[in-house]
């Protein structure tokens, strides 16, 4: 994992001092609210329905056990005993007091964490695959590049006041798990014919009210030119992105209005003056960053574990958790474990103080003191010995963390919605719960198999509803909370945007509608088809008919 040196520490200290001063001036009335706004946003601080909300960056989803313990401490002393993992691999606290925030930031700095640029019209936290470094299908570990991007984007003096927020994702695996195609910039690590490493660059993806899948503007960007090219894209966007209308300010709109070819030309032109310049990455820097992500001290183990085999034969509950929540690891004898934070009745992505401390303990005991957060709002222990899985699962069970529903219908992505968010049209957490209650039977769930249900409380799409196989969007219908349902979205390699089924539904109708949709799938699926495959084959008609009844 990346470790700060004296420069990084100094940068963070200076930032805290700066924000402490800004907060003090704001509280004294010397800094107008409109002028304080972008400053606090760029320090992760929103003012929400109930209290301020502090969003803390988890750079590309990586956390050490020490950092998680610090988050647990903050949740206990400055919040109400829990935190919320977000779809951007960050963590949010819903109840801190404004005047405590500089102190919270000082606590975070002790463990090399911060809330910098987790909000506001700037370059946000870079996200990536939660299995990076341990995945079986990796072209290269994405994390060194994410760290390089993190440093470049942190306090970038030219790009702190962009037209709108800006999100970058990096994918280093052949199966994209980071929703890379719906980011402002999506970078796919590739090798060219000569075997050199580089990036395929997508630009102009995004969700929100106008969802767009990113378009390729470069098939191969040499590794060393990563930052010069990003600088060029950002400069074109900063100059030309629309500032007259907040809803048209994302880069996706600029790319659309300019045309992707013309946009590419602008970037290439800008790049000419940057390429090969001082911002070109040096071999030393790439190696330095890679050095932080070398393999941990893996043991040499047999490919299959006898202890695991026995446990699987003995304990069906364990076997079903294993089947669902454990993934293959690049090293023999190891496994990747996902702790699914989607137990019924708990807001998706929420963890309590005790659970955070417990997960930190598990990371120390079983996974080289590290863990990751996924954009599906789950927690991953990426380097667990197969021999230890049973014991670990037992421990998870006694801490209400053994939900065996990873990737299944109840592993719902869900934004905070109307319960917390001031922008919401409708609540989203109770919808997630009502669906989880309806599909409470593990056997039924496994029979339905892989399907993603994503819920957002408004068209800002924080819950990724556009790319859910089943997407649920809260809408306002004459002052009442209604839900619009879409089908066919996907955030995988074949990313697609969902299509709306039809008129929206009242809250209590939603579980019925989902059940009807699932029933069509169950009746019509062929062979090993997943929900999305069946939908793609059949199209919308049979689902629509089931939901609304036959129309002539």
Partner 1 sequence: MEKLIKNRSIVEDPWLLLKEVSEMSEIADKAAVPLIVPLAFWQENRQALKQRPGKTAVWLQSDELPASLGEDLHSFGLIALNFPVFSDGRVYSSARELRSNFMFKGELRAIGDVLRDQLFYMARCGFDAFALREDQNIDTALAAFDDFRDGYQVSVDKPEPLFRRREHVL
CA distance 88 to 68: 17
Phi-psi region at 276: left, alpha or beta (left = phi > 0; alpha = psi -120 to 50): left
Among 2, 16, 22, 44, binds partner 1 (CB under 8 A): 22
Among 136, 423, 475, 500, binds ligand HEM (CB under 6 A): 423
Residue with tokens 């996200």: 127
- CA-based nearest residue to 328, from 314, 320, 340, 338: 338
Residue span binding partner 1 (CB under 8 A) among the ranges 151-159, 180-188, 192-200, 293-301: 151-159
Q: Residue 235: which of ligand HEM, partner 1, ligand SF4, none does it interact with, CB under 5 to 8 A by kind?
A: partner 1
CA distance 197 to 210: 33
Q: How far is the CB of 117 from partner 1 (least distance, A)?
A: 12
Q: How far is the CB of 154 from partner 1 (least distance, A)?
A: 6
Residue span binding ligand HEM (CB under 6 A) among the ranges 66-74, 130-138, 160-168, 224-232: 160-168
Strand runs (DSSP E) across 285-435, as ranges? 326-328, 334-339, 350-352, 370-373, 379-385, 413-414
Per CB under 8 A, which of residues 68..127 are in contact with partner 1? 121
Using rule CB under 8 A, residue 10 touches partner 1: yes
Q: Residue 285: which of ligand SF4, partner 1, ligand HEM, none does it interact with, CB under 5 to 8 A by kind?
A: partner 1
Q: How far is the CB of 360 from partner 1 (least distance, A)?
A: 29
With vertex at residue 385, the alpha carbon angle to CA 384 and CA 386, rounded to the nearest 5 degrees, is 110
Q: Residue 87: which of ligand HEM, partner 1, ligand SF4, none does it interact with, CB under 5 to 8 A by kind?
A: ligand HEM
Question: Which positions touch ligand SF4 (CB under 6 A)?
Answer: 415-417, 421, 423-424, 456-458, 460-463
Strand 91-93's sheet: what is its strand order? 45-47, 52-56, 91-93, 82-85, 350-352
Sequential DSSP letters for 496-530:
B--EE-SS-EEGGGHHHHHHHHHHHHHHH--TT--
Q: Residue 15: which of ligand SF4, ligand HEM, partner 1, none does it interact with, CB under 5 to 8 A by kind?
A: partner 1
CA distance 529 to 133: 30
Residues 6+ apart with CB under 8 A from 42: 116, 117, 119, 120, 122, 160
Using rule CB under 8 A, residue 60 touches partner 1: no
Using rule CB under 6 A, residue 427 touches ligand HEM: no
What are 125's two structure tokens? 């936290």
Using rule CB under 6 A, residue 92 touches ligand HEM: yes
Using rule CB under 6 A, residue 86 touches ligand HEM: yes
With vertex at residue 426, the alpha carbon angle to CA 498 and CA 407, rounded to the nearest 5 degrees, is 45
At 217, which helix (H) or strand (E)? strand 215-222
Nearest residue (CB) to partner 1, 131 versus 159 = 159
Q: How far is the CB of 54 from ligand SF4 (least distance, A)?
A: 15
Residue span binding partner 1 (CB under 8 A) among the ranges 235-243, 320-328, 400-408, 410-418: 235-243
Using rule CB under 8 A, residue 414 touches partner 1: no
CA-based diameter of the chain, in Å? 71
Task: Give the HSE-up count for residue 515: Cα atoms under 13 Å, Cβ half-sphere.
Answer: 13
Q: Tell how strand 82-85 and strand 91-93 pair up.
A: antiparallel
Per CB under 8 A, which of residues 37..56 are in contact with partner 1? 38-39
Among 9, 191, 209, 239, binds partner 1 (CB under 8 A): 239
Phi, psi of 196 (to 5 degrees): -80, 150
Residues found near ligand HEM in the complex (CB under 6 A): 46, 48, 53, 86-88, 92, 164-165, 167, 182, 206-209, 250, 415-416, 420-421, 423, 460-462, 464
Which stretches of the chain bind partner 1, using CB under 8 A? Answer: 5, 7, 10-11, 14-15, 17-18, 22, 31, 35, 38-39, 121, 148, 151-152, 154-163, 227, 231, 235, 238-239, 243, 273, 277-279, 281-282, 284-285, 288
């Amino acid at each position: 994992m990346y470790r700060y040196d004296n420069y990084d520490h100094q940068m963070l200290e200076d930032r805290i001092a700066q924000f402490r001063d800004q907060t003090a001036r704001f509280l004294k009335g010397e800094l107008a609210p409109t002028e304080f706004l972008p400053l606090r946003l760029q320090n992760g601080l929103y003012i929400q329905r109930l209290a301020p909300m502090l969003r803390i960056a988890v750079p590309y989803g990586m956390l050490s056990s020490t950092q998680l313990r610090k988050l647990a401490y903050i949740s206990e002393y400055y919040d109400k005993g829990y935190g919320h993992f977000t779809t951007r691999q960050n963590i949010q606290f819903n109840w801190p007091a404004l005047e405590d925030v500089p102190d919270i930031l000082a606590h975070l700095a002790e463990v090399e964490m911060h809330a910098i640029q987790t909000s506001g019209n700037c370059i946000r936290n870079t996200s990536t695959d939660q299995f990076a470094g341990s995945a079986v299908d990796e072209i290269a570990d994405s994390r060194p590049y994410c760290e390089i991007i993190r440093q470049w984007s942190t306090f970038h003096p030219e790009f702190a006041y962009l037209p709108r927020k800006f999100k970058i994702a990096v994918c280093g695996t052949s199966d994209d798990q980071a929703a890379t195609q719906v980011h402002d910039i999506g970078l796919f690590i590739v090798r060219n014919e000569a075997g050199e490493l580089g990036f395929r660059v997508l630009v102009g993806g995004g969700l929100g009210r106008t969802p767009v899948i990113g378009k390729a503007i470069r098939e191969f960007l040499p590794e060393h030119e990563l930052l010069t090219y990003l600088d060029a894209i950002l400069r074109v966007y900063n100059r030309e992105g629309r500032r007259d209308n907040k809803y048209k300010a994302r880069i996706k709109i600029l790319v659309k209005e300019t045309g992707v070819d013309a946009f590419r030309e602008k970037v290439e032109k800008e790049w000419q003056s940057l390429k090969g310049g001082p911002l070109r990455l040096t071999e030393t820097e790439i190696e330095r960053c890679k050095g932080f992500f070398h393999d941990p001290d893996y043991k040499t183990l047999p490919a299959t574990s006898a202890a695991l085999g026995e446990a699987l034969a003995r304990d069906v509950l364990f076997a079903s958790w294993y089947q669902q929540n454990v993934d293959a690891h690049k090293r023999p004898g190891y496994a990747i474990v996902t702790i699914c934070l989607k137990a019924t009745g708990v807001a998706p992505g929420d963890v309590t103080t005790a659970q955070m401390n417990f997960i930190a303990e598990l990371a120390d005991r079983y996974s080289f003191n590290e863990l990751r957060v996924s954009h599906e709002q789950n927690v991953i222990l990426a380097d667990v010995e197969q021999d230890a899985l049973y014991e670990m699962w037992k421990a998870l069970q006694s801490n209400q963390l053994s939900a065996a529903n990873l990737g299944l219908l109840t592993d719902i992505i869900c934004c905070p919605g109307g319960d917390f968010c001031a922008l919401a049209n409708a609540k989203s957490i109770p919808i997630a719960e009502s669906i989880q209650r309806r599909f409470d039977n593990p056997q039924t769930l496994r029979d339905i198999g892989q399907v993603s249900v994503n819920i957002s409380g408004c068209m800002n799409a924080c819950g990724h509803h556009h790319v859910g196989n089943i997407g649920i969007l809260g809408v306002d219908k004459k002052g009442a909370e209604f839900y619009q349902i879409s089908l066919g979205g996907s955030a995988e390699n074949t990313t697609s945007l969902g299509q709306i089924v039809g008129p929206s539904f009242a809250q209590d109708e939603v579980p019925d509608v989902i059940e009807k949709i699932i029933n069509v799938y169950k009746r019509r699926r062929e062979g090993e088809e997943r929900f999305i495959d069946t939908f793609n084959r059949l199209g919308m008609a049979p689902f629509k008919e089931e939901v609304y009844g036959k129309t002539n």
